[in-house]
Amino acid sequence: MNTNEHENSVSMTPLDKNVKDKFEDWRNILLGEDPHSIRNQIHKMIWDSAVFQCINESREYAAINDEGDPKLNKMVCRFINDSFFKTQLLSIRGLMDKDRNNIRDDRQYTVYSLYNLIEDMKKNSSLLTRENILAFYNLPYDYEKTKAHFDNSTDWTQGPVVEPREIRLSQNIHIQIDSMAKTTAEERSPDDLIPDNIFRKFNKKLATIEVLYEYVNKYIAHPATPDSRKTTPSEIKEALGKVFNAHKIICETVSFIGNNLLFCGFGDFLPISQ
């Protein structure tokens, strides 16, 4: 292998510390090691769901009694179903938790949730420029010049050469921002922003599962009074389907944030058992 080291040919303007801290904060909320990071919350929620679905599938193979009913303990089955439903709703509610007043008043939010992450990114959307994103990851802004510098300064006679991954990463980020900002390579600007309408789309999708959030508030997390809960149905019809639909919306949203806004990926939604 060619062992020559190459530096980016285009120097990057040092990222302001406040901007860097904010980007790191968003990454930690999404992917951090804290047990309450969004990824860890999702891993627990989806793992519990996978276990429940295995239990549910196994019921199909239960022996049948003389009356044609499965030989299962109804009390245990009811307990499993009820516990699964409640814990899943609590998990969804946690990811949807709102600290709106703290965020709007520029105070530190006190809850790690998908909603709070979106609200904070929306409030600080002016930081999500093309230049800031590339600088945060220490990537060259002009990847074409960096590639030309690499090609010209490499001794190709020394064997196989691997192009620095920073070149391809920079190119991919530029292309994704072009798509979101509805611009072209020729019209790119360091000040191109992630459009605000993306955050509105997030909120619109999450609003479709607000009924689960309200149900938990009124019937599980808090013993609401009759007047307080009268606008919230006491039964969520097709509950299992609504839980799985909430999984889908939450996972699609965090995947987009990780892959297309913070450019740090997200990984698998179902954790691998060790």
Helix/strand/coil for 3 = coil
Residue 274: predicted pLDDT: 57
The Cβ-side half-sphere exposure at 72, using a 13 Å CA radius, reads 17
Residue 210: phi and psi, rounded to 5, are -60, -30
127-179 pLDDT, tens digit each: 999 999 999 999 999 999 999 998 898 888 888 888 889 999 999 999 999 99
Distance CA 91, CA 109 (A): 19
185-224 pLDDT, tens digit each: 999 999 999 999 999 999 999 999 988 888 888 888 888 8
Residue 161: predicted pLDDT: 82
66-120 pLDDT, tens digit each: 888 888 888 999 999 999 999 999 999 999 988 766 656 666 778 899 999 999 9
| Residue that wins the pLDDT comparison between 75 and 13 | 75
105-120 pLDDT, tens digit each: 666 778 899 999 999 9
Residue 251: predicted pLDDT: 96
Helix/strand/coil for 188 = coil
Question: Is the per-residue pLDDT at 267 higher than 50?
Answer: yes
Count CB neighbours of 182 within 10 A: 9
Residue 129: phi and psi, rounded to 5, are -95, 160
Residue 213: predicted pLDDT: 85
Size of the chain, expressed as the number of residues it contains = 274
Residue 99: predicted pLDDT: 74
Q: Report the chain's terminal Cα–Cα distance, integer Å.
A: 36
Helix/strand/coil for 14 = coil
